[in-house]
């Protein structure tokens, strides 16, 4: 799979953004960027977190926002981030997610292309 989907220039950009240069890490990077769903990264060594933050500084056109699950304004901040086309990282997620995040995770958009978050 790696040889079919890998773009060597992209892989070098990822390595410059601190993605390790082993096959497993590169395959995981391919999965993150080629999949249809948002990635959930279980990252006890914080390698993926560091990689996405470094890559987001250079690649995210709207910028990058990082939030903690415990943030009281999480939904509002997510809404603003999504509206402005930012990359969004939610850190320290427990075993259960807030049901209000489900439309975002499932990419549930209406016919006009709007994403419904909570009551909005």
At residue 2, the pLDDT reads: 55
Q: Which of 18, 62, 64, 15 is nearest to 43 (CA)?
A: 18
The whole-model pTM stands at 0.74
At residue 78, the pLDDT reads: 87
Q: Which of 119, 115, 96, 98 is nearest to 106 (CA)?
A: 115
At residue 105, the pLDDT reads: 79
Cα 53 from Cα 66, distance rounded (Å): 9
Count Cα neighbours of 24 within 13 Å in the Cβ-side half-sphere: 2
Average pLDDT, the chain: 83
Q: Tell me the domain boundaries of the chain.
A: 1-59, 61-120
80-95: pLDDT as tens digits? 888 888 888 888 888 8
60-84: pLDDT as tens digits? 878 889 999 888 888 888 888 888 8
At residue 94, the pLDDT reads: 82
Burial class (CB in 10 A: 0-12, 13-18, 19+), 29: buried
Hey, how many other C-beta atoms are within 10 angstroms of the C-beta on 73?
Answer: 10
Token representation of residue 44: 């006890």
- CATH number assigned to the domain covering 1-59: 3.40.50.300
29-58: pLDDT as tens digits? 898 888 877 788 888 888 888 998 998 887
């Amino acid at each position: 799979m790696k040889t079919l989907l890998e773009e060597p220039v992209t892989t070098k950009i990822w390595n410059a953004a601190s993605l390790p240069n082993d096959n497993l890490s590169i395959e995981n990077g391919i999965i993150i960027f080629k999949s249809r769903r948002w990635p959930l990264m279980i990252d006890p060594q914080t390698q993926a977190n560091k990689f996405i933050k470094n890559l987001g500084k250079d690649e995210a056109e709207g910028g990058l926002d990082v939030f903690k699950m415990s943030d009281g304004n999480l939904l509002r901040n997510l809404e603003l981030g999504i509206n402005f086309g930012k990359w969004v990282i939610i850190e320290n997620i427990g075993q259960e997610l807030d049901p209000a995040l489900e439309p975002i995770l499932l990419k549930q958009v209406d016919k006009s292309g709007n994403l419904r978050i909570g009551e909005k």
